[in-house]
Amino acid sequence: MPTQFFYGKQDFVGDVRFITVPQMANKSRFDSAVQAGWTDRMERGLLRYTLGDLQTRILPGSCGFVAQLNVKRGIERRKPQEILSIKQVFNANQFNFNKINPDEIIFEMIKDCDEEQKIGHQPCKIVVLVNVSPLEFGHCLFVPDPTRCFPQVLTRFSIQVGIESVLLSSDPAFRVGFNSLGAFASVNHLHLHGYYLKHKLNIESLPCRPVLPGKGFHTLTGFPSGFLFYTESECVEVVANTIGHVTDFLVEANVAHNLFMTRGCPPCEQNDNLLRKGVRIAVWPRVACFGTKEESALNVALCELAGHLPFKNKKDFELATESHVIEIIQRYLLPHEDFLQLEKQLTQHLMIL
């Protein structure tokens, strides 16, 4: 029987600031559970490779890209599944998280369900697994009740638990993200990624343009173009529901997308004061990529769009410049006119809800 991690709103951490010291003085209960469980699995040899201290450099330029060299992930990670559609159905014959070594389970994350969730038969359990091909320290996967075999399409529950996981951490270095099918998701079984990155990202304080501020809907004004939502602990369910309407719309419109959650400043703040009381949730609609083709240097998925660049080879890592990275990422973003049209459609969609 896996260890169970029970939590409630009383466990959310509000007053968080970004600091650069290597160790936090007061880890939250969530951080302690994730980090201890992940380290234990690493020491027991359950990971495909030893991560170690990744060589890291900040690329000069306004984007503040955090480049890391992670050759072993590029070589030794499981081959991604062939994805042919954003709405591809779950296939029990392919690899999925019901086929993992049970020792990879760190714990089951459980929050009390309200009556509405029970009536709707929503899952109230998340299985937290060690990612055996880690991007960074503590890299884990959040899988909503794997036995229910959900395809890689976001649900309200998975969005809400992703946001709550960030709020449960006292470390602003903890990030959560999601790749849709057609946006470099490698397994068609619903899961989110969580990991620690001890480097500040521009996405935490990037300026935004309000679109429907009453719905928490904003547009990022810096690179790369995307939509932004923000919540503190009191409004998680409402914001998660709004984001769910957005991602449902994207799925129905066959628009691939990546999502990234991190501690960050409220959208209306102009200055970065390092306070990280709430969570920023960025959603990037993008050009869909089908099949198993990958870039030689880096794949443009959730972390790359957020400014974290895991490079697969030393040459590209050493030679990369901000302009070159922007050129690569730009190939996967929607053309500006298409993005503006989608923003208009989403605004109309959210206004009638």
Give the residue numbers marked as catalytic.
191
pLDDT (tens digit, 9 = 90+) per residue, 192-244?
Answer: 999 999 999 999 999 999 999 888 899 999 899 999 999 999 999 999 999 99
Average pLDDT over residues 97-126: 76
Average pLDDT over residues 75-79: 76
Cα 7 to Cα 111: distance, rounded to the nearest angstrom: 6
Delimit the domains of the chain by residue range. Answer: 52-90+153-351
Per-residue pLDDT, 120: 46
Residues 6+ positions from 135 with CB-CB distance below 8 Å: 70, 73, 193, 195, 303, 308, 310
Residue among 49, 140, 70, 50 at smallest CA distance from 299: 70
Average pLDDT over residues 83-110: 95
Sign of the dihedral through C-alpha 215, 194, 161, 148: positive
- E strands of the chain, at which residues? 4-7, 56-58, 66-69, 105-111, 125-130, 140-144, 174-179, 192-196, 208-212, 217-220, 227-231, 256-264, 278-286, 308-311
Distances in Å between the Cα of 5 and the Cα atoms of 32, 147, 167 are 11, 19, 15
Which tokens hold the place of 49?
């490779």
pLDDT (tens digit, 9 = 90+) per residue, 32-52?
Answer: 999 999 999 999 999 999 988
pLDDT at position 292 over 70: no
pLDDT at position 119 over 60: no
Burial 217-249 (b: 16+ CB within 10 A, else e): bbbbeebbbbbbbbbebeebeebbebbbbbbeb
Residue among 321, 319, 329, 257 at smallest CA distance from 298: 329
pLDDT at position 90 over 80: yes
Find the angle CA(270)-CA(273)-CA(279) to the nearest 5 degrees.
Answer: 80
pLDDT at position 271 over 90: no
